[in-house]
């Protein structure tokens, strides 16, 4: 029998807060924590890009509520939209949520690639290259704010004088994840600044090409997943996954039984993936979370 244990591989759930209540998202996070997931992730948009007009909860407020309703699972955004907030405000928000959660925040960031969103809601932002430059400066400022020491900063886009960040994060800093797959703008930022590179689901077919560009950053990957509990449901699961996570934006989905998923994620760990972040076909139904926890996560960890 093949030993599928992969203790180094961690698992997260991505649950975009679209058309769901805060109560539902908080319940999903608690279910994920109970099932053995290591992290829980939400989106940072003011609307649903490319989707109908759903209720869309503000992300940092929601993350604070999740933090008070859980105790061990780590929390973050896939990914935070950098142009929405000045870096000094973002640092203060992140340190506050980290304090609320007892040091469980993971800080996911991106330079903002949904151009329509900025015009729709009145954000005056620059070109994509300028936004990428701003993200690099933001991360520099975040790390200085997290130190708690006085500092000045004079960048191309941001200037601070005699600034400091208190309180500091519980563990002195917060892991920074940069999401994306662009060779010209995103991957250089990952190599220079990130603790983690988050490979978006649509970029998985280019993983081997992109991974060497990440520098020393650890690797997390997003996966659209349809859990097939009974073989006769496979077609229905595939249809729901395609409707909720179209391949044009999410890449090829994993429509697999728990045993097949365990084998797939064993292979992913062997490729260097340290954090697998799944988005389920059914909005993280409690039964799906439980099955994945007992038949995939527990199986790979050998308990």
234-265 pLDDT, tens digit per residue, is 999 999 999 989 988 899 999 999 999 999 99
Q: How confident is the model at residue 1 (pLDDT cuts 50, 70, 90)?
A: very low
Q: Which residues are 179's β-sheet partners?
A: 198
Six-digit token string for 291:
């099955």
The helix (H) or strand (E) run that includes residue 115 is: helix 115-121
pLDDT at 219 over 70: yes
What would the mean pLDDT of 271-296 be, rounded to a whole number? Answer: 96
- Of the CA atoms within 13 Å of residue 242, those in its CB half-sphere come to 6
Q: How confident is the model at residue 53 (pLDDT cuts 50, 70, 90)?
A: confident
What CA–CA distances, in Å, run from 283 to 177, 226, 243, 245? 23, 10, 12, 11
Cis peptide before 79 (omega within 30 of 0): yes
Q: What is the pLDDT of residues 94-108, one digit of tens each?
A: 999 999 999 999 999
The SS3 assignment for 9 reads coil
Contact 221, 203 (CB under 8 A): no
Q: At what angle do helices 22-35 and 59-69 cross, to 10 degrees?
A: 50
Taking only Cα atoms into account, the Rg of the chain, rounded to an integer number of angstroms, comes to 19
- Expressed in angstroms, the distance from the first to the final Cα of the chain is 16
| Domain chopping of the chain, boundaries | 10-301
Q: Which residue has the tokens 């429509």?
A: 255
Compute the distance between CA of residue 40 and CA of residue 42 in angstroms, rounded to an integer.
7
At a CB cut-off of 8 Å and minimum separation 6, what does 56 contact?
A: 17, 18, 45, 46, 47, 48
What would the mean pLDDT of 220-225 be, rounded to a whole number? Answer: 97
Q: How confident is the model at residue 122 (pLDDT cuts 50, 70, 90)?
A: very high
Locate the DSSP E strands across the chain: 10-14, 39-42, 74-77, 80-81, 105-110, 151-154, 159-163, 176-179, 196-199, 218-227, 254-256, 275-280
Find how far residue 165's CA is from the centre of its chain.
24
Q: What is the largest CA-CA distance in the chain?
A: 64
Compute the distance between CA of residue 180 and CA of residue 203 in angstroms, rounded to an integer.
8
Q: 10-301, what's its fold?
A: TIM Barrel (3.20.20)
Contact 301, 5 (CB under 8 A): yes
The SS3 assignment for 298 reads helix
Mean pLDDT of the chain, nearest integer: 94
β-strands 275-280, 254-256 pairing: unpaired
Compute the distance between CA of residue 203 and CA of residue 249 in angstroms, rounded to an integer.
9
Burial environment of residue 175 by CB neighbours within 10 A (0 to 12, 13 to 18, 19 or more):
middle
pLDDT at 2: 45
| Closest of 157, 188, 44 to residue 106, by C-alpha | 44
pLDDT at 164 over 50: yes
Query: What predicted TM-score, i.e. pTM, was given to this entire model?
Result: 0.94
């Amino acid at each position: 029998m093949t030993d599928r244990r992969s203790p180094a591989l961690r698992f997260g759930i991505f649950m975009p807060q679209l058309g769901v209540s805060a109560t539902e998202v908080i319940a999903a996070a608690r279910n994920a924590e109970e099932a053995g997931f290591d992290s829980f992730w939400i989106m940072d948009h003011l609307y649903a890009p490319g989707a109908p007009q759903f209720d869309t909860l503000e992300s940092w407020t929601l993350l604070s509520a999740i933090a008070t309703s859980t105790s061990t699972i780590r929390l973050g955004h896939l990914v935070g939209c950098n142009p929405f907030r000045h870096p000094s405000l973002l640092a203060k928000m992140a340190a506050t949520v980290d304090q609320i959660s007892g040091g469980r925040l993971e800080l996911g960031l991106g330079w903002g690639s949904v151009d329509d969103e900025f015009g729709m809601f009145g954000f005056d932002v620059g070109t994509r290259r300028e936004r990428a430059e701003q993200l690099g400066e933001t991360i520099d400022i975040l790390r200085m704010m997290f130190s708690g020491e006085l500092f000045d900063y004079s960048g191309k886009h941001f200037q601070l004088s005699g600034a400091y960040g208190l309180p500091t994060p519980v563990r002195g800093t917060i892991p920074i994840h940069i999401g994306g797959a662009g060779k010209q703008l995103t991957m250089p930022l990952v190599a220079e600044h990130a603790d983690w590179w988050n490979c978006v689901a649509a970029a998985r077919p280019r993983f081997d090409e992109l991974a060497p560009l990440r520098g020393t950053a650890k690797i997390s990957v997003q996966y659209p997943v349809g859990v097939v509990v009974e073989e006769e449901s496979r077609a229905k699961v595939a249809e729901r996954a395609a409707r909720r996570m179209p391949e044009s934006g999410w890449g090829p989905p994993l429509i697999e039984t728990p045993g097949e998923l365990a084998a797939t994620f064993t292979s992913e760990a062997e490729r260097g993936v340290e954090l697998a972040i799944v988005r389920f076909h059914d909005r993280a139904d409690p039964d799906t979370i439980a099955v994945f926890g007992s038949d995939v996560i527990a199986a790979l960890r050998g308990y």
